[in-house]
Amino acid sequence: MQNLKTYIVVNEKLEHLISFLKEYFTYINGIEPTIIASKQKLRELHHLVEPYERCNVIVVGGDGTLHHTINELQKVPNHQAIIHIIGLGTGNDYERSLADYDQVFQSDLIKMEADQRTIYGINSWCIGLDADIANDLDQFRDCHNPYQASIIYHFLHYRPYLVQYQLSKEETNYITMLALMNGNYYGNGRNISPDSILNDGYLDFYTVDKINKLRIMKLFLLLEKGKHVNHVRHEKVKEIVITSPTSLLNANVDGELYSFKKAKISVEKASISVCPNDVFELKKVLERSYGKKRSKY
């Protein structure tokens, strides 16, 4: 695995690591990596990786960097890239779910088809209050705890969403939040979906109908303690169609914002190879050299 062609995708806010990464792989591991360190260059990844090419793709960043890397790789027919995750973002929620895996495996993906485009997620898809909280994190980056600041803001400005979705039957409800999970965590380590398995061919569907602010506060407290599961609706699903009868819905997919009126969300089973172990010992070396402080992006 260490002798394969290697691409390193670095979040652009971690560009100070580039020279170190080149030196580490070239002189210590004997690999001359291709470094991709901007969103513009990341869009070229699907031109660099060839069909059927077996290679390492090391993602140095957070869930958003991983998300965009996955979407570029899915443009390559029959690619055989192995994803390695060095979680140096604010959330790193997909990386947390890898604790139960000890060897390379084929992870499922979340596939969203909306407005004549296809978007892939690897960890989470959500709309409603929790999506709004995540989508607006940037405006609270200067706060001590951006996630808590966004929770308070949206709690004060809360409004339910009218959505229509098709499971065993068509339902139209005002919802407070709705999530489809492949991984276990979102929101910087909140174990929203303890039953999720990354390669079982299912997504975990969670929804909370319209509730008042007092119950919302109680729900978030339960969520913090991981005791929310018995207070929400939960099903295993392979596909769901979600429509807004009124305005655009803002979905948060792996920390990234997408708006739509109608979307089909389904599971893409065993779609991408993931290595759960830091076989290059890169994270250990980076933390020893640069400290364990996360970059806020």
Task: Assign residue 257 the CATH number of its domain.
Answer: 2.60.200.40
For 190-229, what is each residue's pLDDT tens digit? 899 999 999 999 999 999 999 988 888 888 788 777 778 8
Domain match, 283 and 263 both: no
CA angle 157, 158, 160 (to 5 degrees): 145
* Percentage, residues of the chain above pLDDT 90: 59
The answer to whether residues 150 and 227 belong to one domain is: yes
- The pLDDT tens digits of the residues spanning 30-57 come to 888 999 998 889 999 999 999 999 999 9
Residues 14 and 135 in one domain: no
Query: Of 6, 34, 5, 1, nearest to 18 (Cα)?
Result: 34
Beta bridge partners, 180, equal: 125, 205
pLDDT value of residue 89: 83
Residue 116 covered by a domain: no
Indicate whether 293 pLDDT > 60.
no
Residue 111 lies in a domain: no
% of the chain surpassing 70 pLDDT: 97
98 pLDDT tier (thresholds 50, 70, 90): very high
Which structural domain range is residue 146 located in? Answer: 124-270
57: which residues sit within 8 A by CB, 6+ positions away?
A: 6, 7, 8, 9, 45, 49, 69, 73, 81, 82, 83, 84
pLDDT at 26 > cutoff 70 = yes
Picking from 72, 120, 144, 127, the residue whose alpha carbon sits closest to that of residue 268 is: 120
pLDDT of residue 207: 93
| pTM for the model | 0.91
Q: Alpha helices of 111-183 — where are they, by DSSP H?
A: 129-135, 146-156
Answer whether residue 115 is part of any domain: no
Task: Provide the Cα torsion 206, 209, 212, 216; round to 10°.
Answer: 0
Give me the mean pLDDT over the 269-273 stretch.
95
How many domains would you assign to the chain? 2
Same domain, 90 and 128: no
Judgement on whether residues 74 and 193 belong to the same structural domain of the protein: no
Residue 290 has pLDDT above 80, yes or no: no
**Of 271, 277, 199, 270, which Cα lies nearest the Cα of 1?**
277
Residues 25 and 128 in one domain: no
Please, which residues bridge with residue 165 across strands? Answer: 171, 242
pLDDT, average across residues 81-91: 91
Beta bridge partners of 67: none
Same domain, 150 and 47: no
In terms of domains, do 260 and 281 share one?
no
Residues 175 and 82 in one domain: no
183 & 212 share domain: yes
Domain check: are 260 and 285 in the same one?
Answer: no
The CATH number of the domain where 65 resides is what? 3.40.50.10330
50-85: per-residue pLDDT in tens?
Answer: 999 999 999 999 999 999 999 999 999 999 999 999
* Same domain (yes/no): 85, 143: no
What number of H helices and E strands is found in the chain? 9, 15
pLDDT at 1 (0 to 100): 62
